[in-house]
Structure formats: structure tokens, C-alpha cells
Chains A and B, each alone.
Chain A
Amino acid sequence: MIIENSDVILSVQDLTASVEGTPILKGLNLEMKAGEIHAIMGPNGSGKSTFSKILAGHPDYEITGGEILFYGKSILEMEPEQRARSGIFLAFQYPLEIPGVSNLDFLRVAYNSKRKHAGLPELDNFDFEDLVHEKLDIVKMDAAFLDRSVNEGFSGGEKKRNEILQMALLEPKLSILDETDSGLDIDALKIVANGVNQLANKDNTMLVITHYQRLLDYIIPDFVHVMEAGRIITSGGKELALELEARGYEWVREEEALEVAR
């Protein structure tokens, strides 16, 4: 929802970044305010996933210019865990499997690291288990998944649901959903989207990164941005996604070329 005069949560200014010397982001600008859902669409290789990882602090990428402000403060010098604790959450496109670590323990450690950061006492096993059970319903997840190793042997849909469960527990201010729809059948997609919708509120903001319009039928964005070659080349409302779906990315490129020519 677009709210007048709400807080700016994320502000990305002229961001440039490279991996092993190859520039990937070439001057990216984006502003997200509390209450808003933004979608970034774009062809493969446009830099969408790179951008999501950079926001979360992946060490493989080098920021060569520009700024990322989170509630007005630069996060460029922050470690990934500091960003996570202060309220930035990345739902992975390919959540990792961690054999030997129970999902419940993993969720508890993550949850408590955030509590600790906020100066709150850590929850013990019993209280935490109660809390998790409350949240399971958001993604319609069976409690049996808590006793299994993190993501080990989970189907694509189960992994994504587990990501949203983590999001529900950590209550981030900025959530980045990196191609959350990839590898999901329509039922799983609905469950995941429904979970995200329940978690969106007037105090947080969500960035939905996707290749296809399909996900945006279920998570309705306030803004749609099109990314190409490391920059956002055009932005609009939710209807932009439909237009893209109908006319393809080539159309945006042509529009942009016209724009430049003018």
C-alpha cells in the first residue's frame, strides 16, 4: 500500500558494483517506503539477483560506487549478519541445505541472534517452540519439518515455504524475495504468496524479484521496476508488469532507446 509521508526504508543511489572486476550494477537507483511492495522484473543476466545479494551483503561483490541507505544510514560497511539483525531479510532463490542442523535449532539461533541485537532476552526452547508453531500456519507447513535438517530433502516448494517461515519469525523491515516463484507449482506459489501477503504491513517494505508476471497475480506490487544491464530503466505501477508480459522486454528497450533519442 502506498502511504503518504511514510518513512523511507531503503534508498539506493547510483549504485555500481562488480564481481571479479566485471561491472554488474551500473548506476542503480531505488527508493522504498514503509508499506510499499516493489517488484523488479528483468531478463536473465540483468543483475536482479546480484542486486538482492548485494543488499544482503554477499562478500563476492564489490561496491565500486554509490550508496545504500537503510533508514537513512549507510549499510555498505555492515556484515551480512549485522544487516540481518537490523531488519534486512533475503529469501533465497536456492535456499541451502544444511544436513545435521535441525530446522528448529536453526530457526531458534537465527531468531535469538535478532533478539540479542535488540537487547531482548533470548527465548528458551519451549517458548520458542510455541512461537514457531504459531507461525507455521502462515505458510501451511507441517510441524514435522521442524525436526528435519535445514532444507535437506525438502521439495522446491517446501524450501520456499521454509524461507517465508523464517521471514515470519524474523519480522524484517525490508524483505527481498529473490525469484521466490522459481520452481513452484501453482499451489505452492499461492501458499507462498499468501504467506508474504500476511506479512506485509504498513511498517515494512518488500522487494519482489521475478522473471515472470505470474507471481505478481498473487503478490500485488505498488511499483514495478524493469531492470536491464545493471540499471532500472523504467518504473511504473502494477500494470507495467502486465504490459511486459504481453509485449516482452524488447518493448521496454525500444521505449528506452526512443527516450534517449529524444
Chain B
Amino acid sequence: MGTQTITKQGYLSELVQQVQQVPMIKPWLKEARDRASIILEELALPTKRDEGWQFTDLANLYATNFVAATNKIVTNHDIAHLILPEAQDSHLVFINGFYSPGLSSSQALPEGIFIGNLSQLPESYLIESYLGHQQGSTGIFPALNTLGISDAAIVWVNKNVQIETPVHLLFITIPEETPTISQSRILVVLEPGAKLNLVEQYVATGEGCPDAPASHPYFTNGVVEIFVQENAVLNHSRIQRETSAAFHISRSAVSQGAHSKYHCHTISLGAKISRHNLDIFQTGESTETTLNGLTMISGEQLADKHSNICLNHPYGTLQQVHKTIVDDQASVVFNGRIFVGKKAQQTNAGQLSRNLLLSAKARVNTKPQLEIIADDVKCAHGATVSQLDGDEIFYLQSRGLDQAAATSLLVEAFALDIVNKLPVPSLRHMLSRCMACKTMVI
């Protein structure tokens, strides 16, 4: 066991060395890097023996050596199909973790919102007190991200500014022969009374449809920090569609001020192994939180979602639905923690985990985890794991659909229930088409 630890620590120091190769574009980032370095010294890479990782074996990740990804030249033509029509002039593109000003555009946005990278951000913004300071944005992988922090995607909406045009953040990896690691970093600040519709998306190019077998592993390690201040409203859609050879580990940490609304839609469609931690902290009363999640995987994929919502103020509402569709030998993990502290009286929270298994070898590990200390609250939770209903299939067959078409329709419907809630029409359309294609092969 001693040797294994050394090997693993050796693996970690190699990663540390790689991520630090990316040059900082602002000198003050060094302070954040130094803080992360201290955290990293205290932590070890997780194994199945660690709390929160029992069902997510990272052995395959540890068996792959990654080098720091480098910036690549990509043309507008190459990525045109990836930009949402609604965000033609309100998007940021990062290639292998590097900001690409030529591929980005903010022309459609009015006064009162900034989108861009660190070097574009005007001095007047007090970024140093936000970046790297969101609670919950810790742990070994976020620390690794911060240790190598070189730049960030910044979205900042000023007080009482309400932006109707969606903002699209697109993180593209170009897989290479040699496995690469790239780190994405996002900071979103909605000042009091601000409103925004944000799309965060992870994709890869070069290997065709992400569902096609892919051969080049890469590792995306992301951190997202979001501040939704008093009375602000954030609609956030997160689409993760890496290749079947990719590793994706990401943490989103969100704080919600009094009377703020945070509506989050997370769609996870791919990666060999993906892990997303979503931490939400309430910093004031009467917050409204909606979380809609969909994970759809097949083959030998593993997708792990850990959400952790901490309510410490009264009158908060939370509605969470997490759906998964698992085929072949794939396995999903869902751990939904809701903490209702002593002061969070009159909280109204509901959580539902619904899982659809399409094969005998598919696996689901779902765990609702409610910790309630306040005594005057309403908290409901439920979890279902099921297969397709034979009577539903028969009903469709009796109307002329063959068994395959009936099955697709039902699986699609299960997924579309979440997809249809996305607040961006083209995203709904794109994902519906993707669902139709995915369900066709089942």
C-alpha cells in the first residue's frame, strides 16, 4: 500500500507540474495559486475508499499520463455549428482552456454586462475578492485547477441590469495523440437585481459525433464560481458532451443572496468518466432554487453527479429533479445532499431522483441525503429505479409503432421532460435531435 501511495502522489505531482506550465496572464493570480498549493499538500487523490467516491473508480484516470494542453488554431468556420443562434454575438470560446478572442463576440450585449477573459476585464471590477473565493470551490481537483489558474471566463452583470440575450460559454477540447489536460475556469457575478440566461458547454472536436467510439483520452478539470446576489435571477444551462475517451471533473459552486433565483439545468451526455459537483449555498432568506438534471449514458461510461445544497436562512424553496438513462454496462451515481440548518425555518424543498435502466448490466447508485435541523420545514424526496413499462410499449404497439420505435419514443419522452425545460430554444432543439439519434440505436 505504501508503494501505491507514493505512485499516486507521484502521479499528482506530475499533474501539478503540468498544470503549472500554463502562464498566468495576471500576476496577482499567484496568490490564488499559492493558496491552492497549500491545500494540495494536505490532500491525496481520492480512491473508492474515500467518502463520496465509493462508486466512482478513477483508476483509469490515474493510469493515464496527461501533459498540459496547448492553444490551437481554430477557425470560425470550424466551430460555427457549435455556437447557439441566440448567442451569435454573445459568446466566449475557449480552446483547450485558452481564451480565443477571435472566436468570441460580445457585440449583441448592452451596457452593464461584461463578458470576456481576465485581460479584458476593466480594472474597476473587484475581481480579486471573487475569483477563488466562492465557498465550496475546494477539494483536490478544484485546488489543482486553481494551482494552474492562468485565466478565466468572466461574466459580470451590473446592479439591476437584466440581460435577455443568452450568454454562451463554449469550452472546446481538441483531442491529440498524447493525452492532454486542460483546465477551464468560470466566474459569474450577478450583482443585486441583475438577470441573466447563461449556457455553459463542454465539447470536443475532431472525432465526429461524441457518441462515436473515441480513442484519444483527455482530461478536462473545471471550476465554476457563481455569485447570485440579492434579488438577482440566473438561468443556467450546463451541457457536458465530451467524447467516450474523455475524463471530465468539474465543480460548480454557487452562492445565492436573499430573494435571488437560481434555475439550473444540467445535461450530461458523455465522457468515459465524468464527475460534477454542484454546491449551492444560501447567503440570505427567501431564495428560490430549481435544479433539473439529466444524465444519459451508454457503453462503459460512468457519470457521477453530487449535488449539495446548504440552506441556512428561512423561507428558501428548492425543487430538484434528477433523471438518468443508463444503457449497456454504463453506470451512474447520484448523491443529492440537502442540508437545512437551524435558521432555515419555513424551507420548502423537494428532491426526486428518477432512473431508467435500459439493460440488465446498467447500474444506478442513487442516494438522497437530507439533513434537517430546523423543525418547521417541508422536505420531500423520492427515488425510483425502473425499466421501460411493458404496458406502455404495448399501448404504442397497438397504435402501429413497432417495438423499437415505441422504446425510442418512451426513452426520448423521459429525457425530453428535462430537455424541454431548457430556457434556450435552439438548445432544446439541438438536444431533442441528439436524443432522437441516441434513442434510435437502443
Contact = CB atoms under 8 A, between A and B. Distances in A.
A143 B417 CA distance: 21
A70 B402 CA distance: 20
B102 interface: no
Contacts, number: 77
Contact of B401 (A89, A95, A113): A113
Contact of B395 (A83, A96, A170): A96
A238 B417 CA distance: 47
Interface stretch (A31-39, A52-60, A207-215): A52-60
Interface in B357-394: 389-392, 394
Nearest to B400: A113
B412 interface: yes
B410 interface: yes
Interface stretch (A97-105, A227-235, A244-252): A97-105
Contacts of B392: 96, 98
A65 to B, nearest CB: 23
Interface in A156-174: 166, 170
B398 to A, nearest CB: 5
Interface residues of A, number: 29
Contacts of A48: none
B319 interface: no
22 contacts: A57-B398, A80-B397, A80-B398, A81-B403, A84-B398, A92-B395, A96-B389, A98-B395, A98-B396, A98-B410, A98-B413, A99-B417, A100-B414, A100-B415, A101-B412, A109-B401, A110-B401, A113-B400, A113-B401, A117-B400, A170-B399, A170-B400
Interface in B398-424: 398-403, 405-406, 409-410, 412-417, 420
B352 to A, nearest CB: 13
Nearest to B397: A80
Given A59-B390, A106-B409, A113-B399, 10 more contacts: A79-B403, A81-B400, A98-B392, A98-B395, A98-B413, A99-B413, A100-B413, A100-B416, A100-B420, A101-B410
B417 A84 contact: no
Q: How large is the interface on B (under 10, 10 to 19, 20 to 34, 35 or more residues)?
A: 20 to 34
Given A99-B413, A100-B416, A90 B398 contact: yes
Contact of A109 (B394, B405, B414, B420): B405
A96 B413 contact: no
B186 to A, nearest CB: 31
Nearest to A84: B400
A26 interface: no
Given A98-B410, A100-B412, A79 B417 contact: no
A83 B398 CA distance: 8
A159 to B, nearest CB: 12
B431 to A, nearest CB: 13
Given A109-B401, A113-B401, A80 B417 contact: no
A101 B392 CA distance: 12
A85 interface: yes
A225 interface: no
Contacts of A117: 400
Contacts of A110: 399-401
Most buried by A among B390, B399, B412, B416: B399
B397 to A, nearest CB: 4
Contacts of A170: 399-400
B263 to A, nearest CB: 19
A113 B391 CA distance: 20
Nearest to B413: A100
B400 A95 contact: no
A100, A110, A166, most chain B CB atoms within 10 A: A100
B152 to A, nearest CB: 37
Contacts of B415: 100
Contacts of A92: 395, 398
A209 to B, nearest CB: 15
A96 B393 CA distance: 10
